[in-house]
A and B are shown apart, each in its own frame.
Chain A
Amino acid sequence: MNNTKLMIIGLLVPALLLIPFSIISFYTDFANKNPDPLQVTVSFNGKNYDAVEGKKAFEQYQCMDCHTIVGNGAYFAPDLTRVYKRTGGNGASLAGIIQSGFPSKGMPPMRDRGMGNEDAYRLVAFLKYTDMLDTNGWPNNGSWDRDGGLDGTAAENIRPMGIWQVVAGIVFFNLIIFALVLAYERAKVGNKT
């Protein structure tokens, strides 16, 4: 077969298959029973906030670059998909946590990052929505929410005295790599002369 023809078949076959797969994923009975984000609302002080506004706030304050959502994002902080459940569905308490943060664990008070109360309420609506997503069973119990509550453990500091095994491992590993590199480069020189 002609080279270009082979490459075009390689491109077209899966690309054309992707169209029905994408349609099935969202517009048929196969699609997961996810809620409509416009319908998911929380109400604070007599005002309603919906999950679409919340999604925009979630993006604007860059939550995803410390936390993860549906497992995607940075791994510096816990996953937020089911955090609404972890607070027992208490929106006011969740908004308070977002605003005051956990400075000792590395979460800045979002109040200091310029977040108003309204944006915190919108985020609560968004997190209520993500808690209702059908994510094929992920994350299972025994992950970020074993006891169904918030994580009570405090952050510790690294103890220089307690890590001598790791230090020995680092030295040993680097010596091996260094020896391999040296052997490779010397063998090369030997070939040339």
Chain B
Amino acid sequence: MNGELYLSRAKTRKYFIAAVLLFVLQMILGLLMSIQMVSRNTNLLFPFDIYKALHLNLMILWILLGFIGGLYYLLPGEVGRDIKHPRMIDFQFWFLILSGVGIIISEFFFTGANWWLVEGREYVEAGRFWDILLTIGLLTVVYNVGATVVGRKKEMSSPMIVLAWGAVGSILMYIPGEIWFNSLVAAEYFRWWVVHYWVEATFELIAAGIIALVLLSMTDVKRGIIEKYLAIEVALILLTGIIGQGHHYFWIGTPGFWLFLGGLFSALEPVPLFLMVWSAYKDLKENRKPIPNKVALYMIIGAALGNVLGAGVWGFMHTLPQVNFFTHGTQITASHAHFATPGTYLLLVLGIAYIAVPELAGKFSFSQYRGRIGFWVLVLGFMNMIIALVIAGIIQVYQQRMQGVSFMAVQNMLLPFYGWRTIGGVIALVGGIIVAYDLIVLSRPNTGGFIDETKEVKR
């Protein structure tokens, strides 16, 4: 992004490629699950729960890979020095990948056999053994980032501070979910610390930081304006998000005052997300500098919009306790998750990958046709999935939760919409494969004999 050369940057390329390949694998697992939901036949190679566990855990793994890669890619330019221990970047990558392979093998072959290998709680299914390994690996990332920041040669900009806070915070927030409690209530209480403080605090900080950093480098808007907006966004995200945790404590056996606190603060949670989109829109309107990397801009703006629609609007839709009493544990939640997560974090990781991968391969100008097609196919696929699930959710809330029709009878009614969701999944998978293929092609450096069809323009 800035013209200086840092040797460790070249090592981050594999993080992005691995992230996007794991994303494709996650979508294949999701597709298999959606077929099981239509057919109610769980003998599709493996049972439903194993696919579901891997669908979530692979997502966590590739989001972490993308963010760590992005952090290592952006940090040297911001602190004016190379990463303190460049060899650790390689080591940490292979460590994470090996843990991922271990989690996949344990899920497929050891579910039910050993609690240390498969723990089977939503989002933190990885067994205790893998939890400890992952935590050690991620703490070394914290150390490496910290050591680099301590020896910095120039002041860090506030987007970078936010990004570092977010990355370090998300790694530390993995720990509360690993504490053993006898009580289900306490176990659920702290399991949500992992999930909620990731998606509604630390990952959200990373999102705000990356959007601000990209806008700073791509546009000619004044630094002070972007940084001021960022500070207000971050303060609001934390103010609303940390107590907004309460919306997970409505019905898990915690006291009734959480209904008030969770309802109030989580209703305010969309405010910083609206601010994020509005400031990005305003900045791009004022901008007079041409932006060559359109695909990355598509992804980043898509992430801001996906954040406000998926997390903000879709989240607000069922966050008030009076509404959540009926929507809790229905397909409404599935619709929200399939909008907010890919809408924000997938597009963010892809955005940072589309900035880093071509630049690391020395391609300052590249054909953006395939990337844009991939983006729109992904959007189309996910829109189908989201709308199908939201219709299914509304029917389920009305029939099952309000009218009291039995679970299975309602699931029978929802079959056409599950079928629609499968169609959306196929479309999204095509989009994911296009994007993954495009990134792999872009990651190959131009060799002497290779003639790129797009004209190479050096800056």
Give the interface of A toward B (CB within 8 A).
3-4, 6-7, 9-11, 13-15, 17-18, 21-22, 24-26, 30-32, 34, 36-38, 52, 55-56, 58-66, 68-76, 78-79, 104-108, 113-115, 126, 129-130, 133-144, 146, 151-158, 162-163, 166, 169-170, 173-174, 177-178, 181, 185
Contact A55 B228 (CB under 8 A): no
A146 (CB) vs chain B CBs: closest residue: B404
Top-7 shortest CB links A-B: A10-B235, A142-B404, A62-B120, A71-B329, A65-B49, A138-B251, A14-B242
B161 cross-chain contacts in A, Cβ below 8 A = 4, 7
A142 (CB) vs chain B CBs: closest residue: B404
A76 cross-chain contacts in B, Cβ below 8 A = 33, 36-37, 48, 52
Select which of A114, A154, A178 is within 8 A of B112 by beta carbon.
A114
Contact A136 B383 (CB under 8 A): no
Q: A31 and B239 in contact (CB under 8 A), knowing A25-B189, A106-B42, A155-B411?
A: no
- Nearest CB in chain B: distance from A32 CB, A: 6
Select which of A107, A138, A144 is within 8 A of B250 by beta carbon.
A138
A75 cross-chain contacts in B, Cβ below 8 A = 329-331, 333-334
B216 at the interface (CB under 8 A from A): no
Contact B329 A68 (CB under 8 A): yes
A57 and B21 CA atoms in complex are apart in Å by: 33
- Nearest CB in chain A: distance from B257 CB, A: 7
Select which of A9, A64, A153, A174 is within 8 A of B406 by beta carbon.
A153
- Nearest CB in chain B: distance from A138 CB, A: 4
Residue of B165, B253, B418 most packed against chain A (CB within 10 A): B253
A114 and B184 CA atoms in complex are apart in Å by: 24
B184 cross-chain contacts in A, Cβ below 8 A = 37, 55, 69-70, 126, 129-130, 133
Select which of B39, B239, B250, B420 is within 8 A of A14 by beta carbon.
B239
Contact A113 B189 (CB under 8 A): no
Select which of A7, A66, A69 is within 8 A of B52 by beta carbon.
A66
Interface readout for B198-239 with A: 1 if CB under 8 Å, 0 if not? 000000000000000000000000000001101110111111
A185 and B295 CA atoms in complex are apart in Å by: 13
Contact A153 B238 (CB under 8 A): no
A158 and B114 CA atoms in complex are apart in Å by: 37
Interface readout for B347-390 with A: 1 if CB under 8 Å, 0 if not? 00000000000000000000000001000100110011001000
- Number of chain B interface residues as a range: 35 or more
A163 and B416 CA atoms in complex are apart in Å by: 6
- Stretch with Cβ within 8 A of A (4 or more), from B5-13, B91-99, B395-403: B395-403
B241 cross-chain contacts in A, Cβ below 8 A = 14
A26 cross-chain contacts in B, Cβ below 8 A = 185-186, 189
B243 at the interface (CB under 8 A from A): yes
Contact A25 B242 (CB under 8 A): no
A146 and B405 CA atoms in complex are apart in Å by: 7
Q: A6 and B235 in contact (CB under 8 A), knowing A142-B401, A144-B407?
A: yes
A38 and B181 CA atoms in complex are apart in Å by: 11
A24 and B261 CA atoms in complex are apart in Å by: 13
- Nearest CB in chain B: distance from A105 CB, A: 6
A152 and B407 CA atoms in complex are apart in Å by: 10
A62 (CB) vs chain B CBs: closest residue: B120
Contact B250 A166 (CB under 8 A): no
Contact A143 B404 (CB under 8 A): yes
A24 cross-chain contacts in B, Cβ below 8 A = 255, 257
A142 and B400 CA atoms in complex are apart in Å by: 7
Contact A7 B384 (CB under 8 A): no
Q: Please provide the chain B residues from 112 to 129 with a CB less than 8 Å away from any CB of chain A in the complex.
A: 112-115, 118-122, 125
B158 cross-chain contacts in A, Cβ below 8 A = 3-4, 7
- Nearest CB in chain B: distance from A59 CB, A: 4
Interface readout for B161-189 with A: 1 if CB under 8 Å, 0 if not? 11001000000000000000011111111
Contact A181 B111 (CB under 8 A): no
B3 at the interface (CB under 8 A from A): no
Contact A38 B182 (CB under 8 A): yes
